Structure 1
């Protein structure tokens, strides 16, 4: 009886409804062979659990904090096994040689333009010769400039102030086999300034010193500042399309890290030459300098070229030669390390709208380069015999590339 009273008090404290009273059910369970103590225990646990759920003290309530325990070790292993079985099988692709891959795409691999096997290196004997058997004649820089001036005379093309450009052909091979140099870009300041017809380039400058900001604006920068300019880029007032180049002082490098993703390839770097301590010369380099970019042949992966303007035809010949010397040595700096072969293979001068291109002796302007056309006496006699024996009558074919 004391046990029943204690349970009744618990029910009263928990405010158990009257329909859960234990007394009406005691006789029924006693008749089924269940002792009174077992009945009290079962019923009390049932009533207490239901009451606790109503009061939010056991799982089932929305306010109850639920704890999750780690699964058994065996269950984890089963889950890992199922994940592995669900993974897609990676199919290994078979290696296909380059020439077969190009043949499948119906692409014909052409021989390199400057290394054709049947070209003879010895100069022709007569004044008239078949161009298919010989390389292009090499002219001095002075001769090439004078010939372009003649074609651009007012009585012919009437372009006496046309831009004189150079096509620099490159060997893009890397030290490792089947590896080739990626396209590169750069800016070079010519000794004698070349004024282009297009709009002035926009240079954005990041610097803290007020004197550097004033000097940058005088040098031709369209905007110079520090944190204020960074905020304009973060908010979208300034975008990459609004400027051509970025120049920054070393002190601003830490703050510029917040907009590295927005600047993308324009982010300042010492290798690019747009990061330093002297701001004014850097601004003059990118405002007055000439931009250049390398190109790669789609089919000849080891063949590339750079088209760089060196001046105008109305400039002095000596000035054009100095600009050409600077351009060639600047392009030579992009040569891959560890490559023994010459990086620059051939240089041509052209001036639009004329389609003529004249080959010049580039080895005279570069250190470590030799004339590739010099032959030994044995090779000269061998090629002369080959020339005399050749009686084929085929049409003259010469592949040239029109500058884009």
Structure 2
């Protein structure tokens, strides 16, 4: 009887402690679960580990905010921005409605001549109007998630014209004779080792100069102030390093500055609007300027096989008419020219090997 009463008291005391949360068990007595968690629990854990990349949006001007909001609401398609006409049919007759058919592709010479006819004294009377090239670019980078940012470059033109741009040039030359040549060509300031010392001491500032040029002989001394120049340090890649200072200064004085801008909504689409001459210039000179600009723009191409320049249209204010022109031939000249140079170098090496052969005498 006493044993039954003591057992009942122990059971009741354990029950009371369990109900009142006083039944604490040691770690060794905790139940171990060997089965896996539920599928929903695993998915929640994976979602927590995934980092959400938030794209930082900088300051947006007030005149662009409405356009971005409208684009998101209306979901503007890529065809509405790029104006692709590849799906349209070819015109059958000599006269057709442009918006229903493919655009005609003109040779550059014919497009220039068309603008000359509209700007004739009998029509607009602007025979020396500036002629522009509207270049469309594929800003897609080497990776699908990256795009080419906006960039600004100076294209050196073989034939100068009044483009309305002015820039200050600083030239580094080793000898006083070359410094005089740079000043005569149009450089605002030219100097050598003494100028480098003044820049190091802070007596001379390079901020007011737009372009910095140099000849290769003074390049080792320029390494002392490379940190101050940063991206403007003279190099052959930028075209700012050359022994012919007269040609170098003239090129950058007559060159034209342009900016490639990506679209506000479609980041893979960019444009360049640049003037390459006037209508009263010779057609061959305009063609050479046009080729120089295209090659300079194509040099900014990312490392991918697809073409960087997708379409070029020629315009001339005040008319809104634009002519789609052929441009691939001006880009392919580089590859053919390089092949010819390599073949010539191989022939020269073979001739040198033949001339250097020594006939052994027995």
TM-score by structure 1 length?
0.58
Relative to 1, partners in 2 of residues 1:162 and 1:271: Cα closer, same or farther, differing over 3 Å?
same
Greater mean alpha carbon deviation, residues 301-310 or residues 107-116: 107-116
* Residue 149 (1) aligns with residue 135 (2): no
Whole-Å separation in 2 of the counterparts to 1:236 and 1:296: 40
**Offset of 1:237 from its aligned partner?**
5.3
Alignment-derived partner of residue 375 in structure 1: none
Q: Structure 1 regions of 5+ residues with no counterpart?
A: 1-90, 370-404
Correspondence for 1:138 among 87, 92, 105: 105
Alignment-derived partner of residue 287 in structure 1: 253
User: Any conservation in 2 of the 1:119–1:132 contact (CA below 8 Å)?
Assistant: no
Whole-Å separation in 2 of the counterparts to 1:110 and 1:227: 58
Correspondence for 2:317 among 331, 352, 365: 352
User: Any conservation in 1 of the 2:234–2:241 contact (CA below 8 Å)?
Assistant: yes
Relative to 1, partners in 2 of residues 1:105 and 1:218: Cα closer, same or farther, differing over 3 Å?
same
Relative to 1, partners in 2 of residues 1:347 and 1:252: Cα closer, same or farther, differing over 3 Å?
same
Question: Would you say how many aligned residue pairs link Structure 1 and Structure 2?
Answer: 272
Whole-Å separation in 1 of the counterparts to 2:206 and 2:301: 33
**Offset of 1:93 from its aligned partner?**
5.5
Correspondence for 1:163 among 123, 130, 143: 130
Relative to 1, partners in 2 of residues 1:276 and 1:173: Cα closer, same or farther, differing over 3 Å?
same
Whole-Å separation in 2 of the counterparts to 1:221 and 1:187: 16
Whole-Å separation in 1 of the counterparts to 2:219 and 2:300: 25
Mark the structure with the bigger radius of gyration: 1
User: Any conservation in 1 of the 2:212–2:240 contact (CA below 8 Å)?
Assistant: yes
Alignment-derived partner of residue 267 in structure 2: 301
Q: Structure 2 regions of 5+ residues with no counterpart?
A: 1-48, 57-67, 335-362
**Offset of 1:251 from its aligned partner?**
4.5
**Offset of 1:327 from its aligned partner?**
2.3
* Residue 334 (1) aligns with residue 300 (2): yes
Greater mean alpha carbon deviation, residues 346-355 or residues 247-256: 247-256
User: Any conservation in 1 of the 2:158–2:251 contact (CA below 8 Å)?
Assistant: no
User: Any conservation in 1 of the 2:131–2:276 contact (CA below 8 Å)?
Assistant: yes
Correspondence for 2:283 among 301, 308, 317: 317
Relative to 1, partners in 2 of residues 1:249 and 1:198: Cα closer, same or farther, differing over 3 Å?
closer
* Residue 185 (1) aligns with residue 152 (2): yes
Whole-Å separation in 1 of the counterparts to 2:189 and 2:279: 34
Relative to 1, partners in 2 of residues 1:130 and 1:160: Cα closer, same or farther, differing over 3 Å?
closer
Whole-Å separation in 1 of the counterparts to 2:181 and 2:126: 37
Matches within 5 A, 1:110-259: 110-112=77-79, 113-114=81-82, 116=84, 119-120=87-88, 122-126=89-93, 129-199=96-166, 201-230=167-196, 231=198, 235=202, 238-240=205-207, 242-257=208-223, 259=225
**Offset of 1:244 from its aligned partner?**
2.1
Relative to 1, partners in 2 of residues 1:164 and 1:116: Cα closer, same or farther, differing over 3 Å?
closer
Whole-Å separation in 1 of the counterparts to 2:119 and 2:201: 50
Relative to 1, partners in 2 of residues 1:141 and 1:368: Cα closer, same or farther, differing over 3 Å?
closer
**Offset of 1:221 from its aligned partner?**
0.7
Relative to 1, partners in 2 of residues 1:234 and 1:265: Cα closer, same or farther, differing over 3 Å?
farther
Relative to 1, partners in 2 of residues 1:355 and 1:130: Cα closer, same or farther, differing over 3 Å?
closer
Whole-Å separation in 2 of the counterparts to 1:94 and 1:247: 45
Whole-Å separation in 2 of the counterparts to 1:97 and 1:135: 38
Whole-Å separation in 1 of the counterparts to 2:90 and 2:316: 26
User: Any conservation in 2 of the 1:234–1:259 contact (CA below 8 Å)?
Assistant: no
User: Any conservation in 2 of the 1:166–1:309 contact (CA below 8 Å)?
Assistant: yes
User: Any conservation in 1 of the 2:211–2:232 contact (CA below 8 Å)?
Assistant: yes
Matches within 5 A, 1:62-101: 94-95=52-53
User: Any conservation in 2 of the 1:296–1:305 contact (CA below 8 Å)?
Assistant: yes
Computed over aligned residues only, the root mean square deviation of the Cα atoms, in angstroms, reads 3.3
Correspondence for 1:271 among 209, 230, 237: 237
